[in-house]
Amino acid sequence: MQLHQKAFRAMASQCEIKLWSADVQQAELVLQAAVAEVQRIEAKYSRYQAQSVISQINANAGISDTIVDAETAALLDFAQQCFEQSDGLFDITSGVLRRAWDFKSHRLPSQADIDALLPLIGWHKLNWQRPNVRLRLAGMQLDFGGFGKEYAADRAASVLIAAGMMHALVNLGGDVRVTGPQSDGTPWCIGIQHPRHADQAIASIAIGSGALATSGDYERYMVINGKRYAHLLNPHTGYPIACAQSASVQAPLCVLAGALASCALLQGAGGLEFLRAQEFAFLWVDDCGLAISS
């Protein structure tokens, strides 16, 4: 048994896959197949690729229905659950706020900019009747960024499992899914990034099965006049949510762990109570940097 690994960039993140296998050639083939699966999902759901399913739906906004395949349909159903279970805070139509919030510009948007976008936000303004989906208003946008990376981690794991790789780890920019423990039975040790020191771990968690996903306020943000504006935007107000620094959740599936971590952060101060009410292990780093675990 040997550890084989592959590092690559996908979905704007640093990614890696590690697996234990006795067969060098087979390990290489399986690694390639798993990376290809991540790339497939990226191409299919990227906002930046004109041919992607998301770009087609967005291009048809206010004009016509788009017929989607079963995979996209399942992701739309999942998005609907995210919306309902977060009391409307996790909304895949809120990405349009990106037009007003440019975190690289270090400039706050005007209220008028935000007011102009708010009418374009709302899961309820989407017609979703399998297999037809339509954004009712021109200018609306769908964005699977809230769970695309986590879904890709689970899918890459399914490729590994189908190939019999039961001792493998997929890490897509900190969203981690494993297919089982390492070959000697010991769990994988996963560091959780410190929200304020990108090169440090604030904690490390051992996982032998399932997934670990983290959502943080540090992915995109700007500081203006000492106030931090993070990319987690309230779809009702259009403004960043005053939230904790990061939430990490351990769950059987990465897409579940990621959705719970995002829901928790979007709850603002209530996020900690939200996590405590779920049945999964978590690490919560509050707005002062205090780490609280389950």
3-state secondary structure of 235: coil
Q: Which is nearer to other proteins, 78 or 101 (CB)?
A: 78
What would the two tokens of residue 123 be?
């899961």
Residues 101/231, Cβ–Cβ less than 8 Å: yes
Q: Give the number of residues in contact with other proteins, rule: CB under 8 A.
A: 48
Q: Which is nearer to other proteins, 71 or 113 (CB)?
A: 71
Task: For residue 212, give the nearest of 193, 227, 231, 195 by alpha carbon.
Answer: 193
- From candidates 31, 75, 96, 176, binder to other proteins by CB under 8 A: 75
Rounded Cα distance, 14 and 145, in Å: 16
Q: Which is nearer to other proteins, 113 or 286 (CB)?
A: 286
The dihedrals phi and psi of 230, each to the nearest 5 degrees, come to: -100, 170
Task: For residue 143, give the nearest of 99, 84, 112, 103 by alpha carbon.
Answer: 99
**Is 288 one of the binding residues for other proteins (CB under 8 A)?**
no
**Is 179 one of the binding residues for other proteins (CB under 8 A)?**
yes
Q: What minimum distance in Å lies between the beta carbon of 65 and other proteins?
A: 22
DSSP 69-136: -HHHHHHHHHHHHHHHHTTT-S-TTGGGGGGT--TTTT-PPPHHHHHHHGGG--GGGEEEETTEEEES
The CA–CA distances, whole Å, from 66 to 43, 92, 140, 174 equal 18, 17, 14, 33
Site for other proteins in 8-67 (CB under 8 A): 20, 22-23
**Interface map 222-241 toward other proteins (x if CB under 8 A):** --------------------
Binding range to other proteins, per CB under 8 A, among 42-50, 147-155, 189-197, 215-223 = 147-155
Q: Which is nearer to other proteins, 135 or 157 (CB)?
A: 157
Rounded Cα distance, 74 and 131, in Å: 10
Binding range to other proteins, per CB under 8 A, among 27-35, 82-90, 125-133, 138-146 = 82-90
**Is 144 one of the binding residues for other proteins (CB under 8 A)?**
no
Residue entry with tokens 């990034």:
193
- From candidates 19, 38, 45, 78, binder to other proteins by CB under 8 A: 78
**Is 278 one of the binding residues for other proteins (CB under 8 A)?**
yes
Strands (E), 119-195: 126-129, 132-135, 168-172, 175-178, 188-193
Where along the sequence are the contacts to other proteins (CB under 8 A)? 1, 20, 22-23, 70-71, 74-75, 77-78, 80-82, 84-87, 151, 154-155, 157-158, 161, 164, 166-167, 177, 179, 183-185, 251-253, 255-256, 259-260, 263, 267, 270, 273-274, 276-280
